[in-house]
Homo-oligomer: A and B are copies of this chain.
């Protein structure tokens, strides 16, 4: 990490299946690199200019408007950029929408992140768990007949894609019109179109599909913003961020800048979220096909009807073969494939910026590995 370290070139890049922080579009990294010493017009790096500088304000507003156009977000919703990741949102959601309401917040528990969200919510008020997939190690999702959400719930919360388990809701879960639907969309945000008007609040930390670690996007129906108790910690109060257009305090300027470039890449290079979804379906289906046709050599963790477009999780016949798979993949420049310890096996995270070529290379390796070891 010193100035004397050998400079690695772009040709040293591997296919990086990290679950997050994760692969970014190469064109975005190149722009960031070109502008690092001097942002055009600024006379300084983006890292060095004030968040109140008009050049940064333009970058912030451009990031917001690109997100609005990609997702079709209406003026009924606020778009905020915050710090603290999904973890801070676990508290913020409950502090704003549950504390002091006398109501109960309802949760669908479908994986590791939902579990953490519930722990934080319990500090703020009464919490119900309408569905709990713990007993099958979070390999499935609820259907409408599996639960019933009361009409007077403070909100209904779910995690649209559980990164660790690789389960993803195909569409919004059933929710009464009177109840704000809240989603932790951290790991599938921007992977496909999202009907924002079905939601009270959607948030996503950026480091999967949207940018680097350090910024979280919050999309919130405006009528919900001002109901919170005034005594919740100021940084957690959405009202402060909304009213000050994400500049209540110094925002994470660099992460917002990169996020804006990723959003532009999605709009201009990919052609929008419907196109992105097509590509993501092709990429994930090609891997699931190899799993399904491996005669049981590869066993998917998630039930087939809730497989994730983003995180393909599967097991091999033995711990030994899993270790061998990861090591051999590494020598083929296929990196960061080890599954999370709670699920084991392999996790191939194939977010938006993972090129088709990377997925093809992984698919070819999987087929070859199975034929040699099956």
Contact = CB atoms under 8 A, between A and B. Distances in A.
A174 B87 CA distance: 38
Interface of A: 1-3, 5-10, 12-14, 16, 18-24, 26-27, 29-45, 47-51, 53, 58-59, 62, 83-88, 90-92, 95, 119-120, 123, 205, 207, 212-215, 231-236, 248-255, 257-258, 260-261, 264, 333, 335-336
Residue in A1, A248, A258, A264 whose Cβ sees the most chain B Cβ within 10 Å: A1
Contact of A264 (B2, B205, B232): B2
Contacts of A43: 8, 12-14, 16, 333, 335
Contacts of A215: 214
Nearest to A5: B40
Contacts of A12: 38, 43
Given A16-B43, A30-B37, A254-B254, A236 B234 contact: no
8 contacts: A7-B35, A8-B35, A16-B44, A21-B48, A29-B45, A29-B47, A32-B47, A85-B250
Given A43-B14, A62-B1, A50 B336 contact: yes
Nearest to A240: B87
B91 A235 contact: yes
A264 to B, nearest CB: 7
A9 B43 CA distance: 9
Nearest to A62: B1
Contacts of A91: 233-236
A95 B233 contact: yes
A41 B335 CA distance: 12
A47 B33 contact: no
Contacts of A10: 37-38
A205 B250 contact: yes
